[in-house]
Amino acid sequence: GAGVSQSPSNKVTEKGKDVELRCDPISGHTALYWYRQSLGQGLEFLIYFQGNSAPDKSGLPSDRFSAERTGGSVSTLTIQRTQQEDSAVYLCASSLSPMRSETQYFGPGTRLLVL
């Protein structure tokens, strides 16, 4: 079956522009997670969804970052007025349920470069 997919795979943008990153979770997975991996740093949790609601958005680094999920499926992470420090790989993961015993399945990531 299909795994988690993310688009675009690569995105180059100019400082100050808005970008949208998309995640398609595994069908039937109710929990969805966004992480960021910056060069030389570990993965950083951004936000998690249970269905269409986000019980934990504590990792979003600033109000320029927002995310939504519709239909309990696709999620979009939006970064407004991008800055160079936003350059990173953005990873999406999904799990069957938000139970912490559930394995998270990761997509290939979107590599964002802000010039």
What SS3 class is residue 65?
Answer: strand
Which phi and psi angles does 20 have, rounded to 5°?
A: -125, 130
Decide if residue 45 touches other proteins (CB under 8 A).
yes
Q: Pick from 26, 79, 107, 114: which binds other proteins (CB under 8 A)? A: 107
- Decide if 86 contacts 114 (C-beta within 8 A): yes
x/- binding map, residues 16-35, to other proteins, per CB under 8 A?
---------------x-x-x
Angle at 95 between CA 94 and CA 100, to 5 degrees: 125
If the CB atoms of residues 19 and 31 are measured against other proteins, the closer one turns out to be 31
- Decide if 43 contacts 37 (C-beta within 8 A): yes
Q: Pick from 48, 60, 67, 69: which binds other proteins (CB under 8 A)? A: 48
Backbone dihedral region of 81: left (phi > 0), alpha (psi from -120 to 50 degrees) or beta? left
Please tell me the count of residues contacting other proteins according to CB under 8 A: 27
Decide if residue 59 touches other proteins (CB under 8 A).
yes
Binding residues for other proteins, per CB under 8 A? 4, 31, 33, 35, 40-45, 48, 55-56, 58-59, 91, 93, 98, 100-101, 103-109
